[in-house]
Amino acid sequence: MADFKVGYFVGSLAKGSINRKLSQALVRLAPPELQMQEIRFGDLPLYSYDYDADYPPIAKDFKAAIADVDAVLFVTPEYNRSIPGGLKNAIDWASRPYGQNAFTRKPSAIIGTSPGAIGTAVGQQHLKSILGFCNSPMMNAVEAYIQFKPGLISDEGEVSVEGTVEFLRTYTLEFRDFIRRVLTVYSRSS
Domain harbouring 67, CATH code: 3.40.50.360
Confirm whether 13 is domain-assigned. yes
State yes or no: pLDDT of 1 exceeds 90: no
Q: Which residues of 97-136 are buried (b: 16+ CB within 10 A; e: fewer)?
A: eeeebbbeebbbbbbbbbeeeebbbbbbeebbebbeebeb
For residues 11-40, give the mean pLDDT. 97
In a domain, 18, yes or no: yes
- Burial class from Cβ neighbours inside 10 Å (0-12, 13-18, 19+) for residue 138 reads middle
Percent of the chain at pLDDT above 70?
97
pTM across the whole model = 0.95
Evaluate whether residue 190 is within a structural domain. Answer: no
pLDDT score for 189: 59
Minimum mean pLDDT range among 41-45, 100-104, 120-124, 162-166: 120-124
Per residue in 106-125, pLDDT (tens digit) is 999 999 999 988 889 999 99
Residues of the domain holding 66: 4-184
Distances (CA, A) of 160 to 1, 152, 156: 29, 5, 12
Q: Does 47 map to a domain?
A: yes
Residue 96 in any domain: the answer is: yes
Number of domains in the chain: 1
